[in-house]
Structure 1
């Protein structure tokens, strides 16, 4: 593309070159006619003699040789450290004696500036999966959330007043028990005061009833290695309902990633979405947000459609 201040377009260059080469105009006369320097007129005439009309287009400004480019061997070392150790440009540059900006350019050139395709814990390619039918696998997890003292916390009152108000009786933590269907991302959530095995089992009983009401038969449940999920009560309750309990490998929360991502969405879209003045006010807003999530909020993994789009029997789908 010709820049804004260029005196000649490719068509103008062709006319200039033809005046010199074919009509035998003197260089100086042609340069004056087209308002360019003599050297410019000579350059386009020379390209026309050698390349014809094809020589009138712009060439790449990239040099034919780059003597100061980082050696290929060094680039390979940068890539190897990036993939195996997942270090950033500054740390790699310190190890290899390179400027961090140089390391960043190398990583960008080989599309390694972001390691979105690798698991940060193991450096192995991420294996994304999705079960083919609702109920084949349900992810279950618990998220700890601080309660809001009456009158509001720091988001309403400011840091100093919110800190003083947080010291009143009744301020503590709530536990969000969440269940997310792997195929449809349909979610069920309850707020409880603890994460004991009895509470977890009672929550699952109601969650299973919710999925059943949606026409979903749960066959497997995946959890982390929390004490409530390692209990005999949890195992026996699931097996009595014909459900296979499964647990993630220790220190591998990525395996339960769908519910982990739902936890983040839940906090951003509901818990921290607005400054609530009481914990009761925030809890009252949960059912409406959950309905919006299941029925109306577009999900990127579902091509912008809500979870309800993958559960035909879900009641209230179009409300």
Structure 2
């Protein structure tokens, strides 16, 4: 029998059973049993009666919720409140005015249905967000490209100020020969981070390139599949957005050659690829803009160490606050 009980209980289930046996089976007076276990007469009588009616099973805690709730919000009204929330994203006050129901009642219903926060709803459809996670590493890889402006020599405006940052951009643009924009602004180029995330483990693979062409995307996929294979993971599916590189014949042929099923998100639905979108935010905050970099080369040099830290040492809140690499097969040397 479990001995767990709520914090304010005077008796544990085992003590309740001992009290009830003394009263029901050994004939102790209620008052004597109550004094013996230092509880009220009413409490002793309650447990004795439950033992007489239900046996030892009656000694466990019960929910304090009433058996009958005649004033509970009718199911039909609950459905109307939920429908107004999902279809029109109304708040408790607006829904209450529409259905002639107190706003407090509406809020209680929305809380019970887990609709009280708009962050729980999809922005595009209003439907509850459905979170998923594949069962095994390699079942699904998320791929995408994160674009970042390159760091000029001497540092960017975030750390040196806009005036100095503009001078650094102009000098770097002149040195590298990157054409100016149509507004005659100096340009220094874009860093394209091709990122791959394993859906189950959240282990990340990242490569920095100067373009997002189909050839580069296919090369990154090959490298990522080989990288995961070295860690005992066989890739089965890959999901991407509808970018040109991922709609190309080269991408489809590469997936077929690797034995991978290629999938794409629905148009205008980046939430489907939400895990990699969230990783991009972590990448930007933890690496790209975390500290001062005197040049783009210095920032790129810090990328691999940061990805290693993310995979091997950083606790991930979505997987139980453990490092992503621990969710892969625990092969020798992979968790160091």
Q: Does the TM-score normalized on the shorter chain lie above 0.5?
A: yes
Identify the match of residue 254 of structure 1 among 259, 265, 271: 271
Identify the match of residue 260 of structure 2 among 222, 232, 243: 243
Aligned residues: 241
Determine the structure 1 residue equivalent to 2:139.
Answer: 136
Determine the structure 1 residue equivalent to 2:89.
Answer: 86
Question: Partners of 1:116 and 1:157 in 2: how far apart?
Answer: 36
Determine the structure 1 residue equivalent to 2:299.
Answer: 282
Cα offsets for 1:74-108 (capped at 9, x unmatched) = x9998765432336799x69x98xxxxx9799658
- Alignment of 1:176 with 2:168, yes or no, is no
Q: How far did residue 311 of structure 1 move?
A: 0.9
Question: Partners of 1:242 and 1:155 in 2: how far apart?
Answer: 44
Asked if the contact 2:231–2:334 (Cα under 8 Å) also holds between the matched residues in 1, the reply is no
Question: Partners of 2:160 and 2:243 in 1: how far apart?
Answer: 35
Asked if the contact 1:214–1:315 (Cα under 8 Å) also holds between the matched residues in 2, the reply is no
Question: Partners of 2:255 and 2:149 in 1: how far apart?
Answer: 30
Structure 2 vs 1, CA of residues 208 and 154 (structure 1 numbering), >3 Å: closer, same or farther?
same
Q: How far did residue 155 of structure 1 move?
A: 1.9
Asked if the contact 1:222–1:245 (Cα under 8 Å) also holds between the matched residues in 2, the reply is yes
Identify the match of residue 229 of structure 2 among 212, 219, 222: 212
Question: Partners of 2:90 and 2:155 in 1: how far apart?
Answer: 41
- Alignment of 1:185 with 2:188, yes or no, is no
Determine the structure 2 residue equivalent to 1:147.
Answer: 150
Alignment of 1:87-166 (within 5 A): 107=107, 110-111=110-111, 114-166=117-169
Question: Partners of 2:280 and 2:132 in 1: how far apart?
Answer: 19
SS at 1:174 equivalent:
strand
Structure 2 vs 1, CA of residues 80 and 214 (structure 1 numbering), >3 Å: closer, same or farther?
same
Asked if the contact 1:84–1:123 (Cα under 8 Å) also holds between the matched residues in 2, the reply is yes
Question: Partners of 2:104 and 2:161 in 1: how far apart?
Answer: 40
Structure 2 vs 1, CA of residues 78 and 136 (structure 1 numbering), >3 Å: closer, same or farther?
closer
Identify the match of residue 195 of structure 1 among 183, 203, 212: 212
Q: How far did residue 315 of structure 1 move?
A: 5.5
Structure 2 vs 1, CA of residues 114 and 199 (structure 1 numbering), >3 Å: closer, same or farther?
same
Structure 2 residue runs without a partner (length 5+): 1-77, 177-187
Greater Cα radius of gyration, structure 1 or 2: 1
Q: How far did residue 110 of structure 1 move?
A: 4.1
Question: Partners of 1:108 and 1:164 in 2: how far apart?
Answer: 57
Q: How far did residue 167 of structure 1 move?
A: 3.0
TM-score normalised by length of structure 2 = 0.65
Question: Partners of 2:153 and 2:214 in 1: how far apart?
Answer: 29
SS at 2:298 equivalent:
helix
Question: Partners of 1:83 and 1:144 in 2: how far apart?
Answer: 34
Structure 1 residue runs without a partner (length 5+): 1-74, 97-101
Structure 2 vs 1, CA of residues 315 and 119 (structure 1 numbering), >3 Å: closer, same or farther?
farther
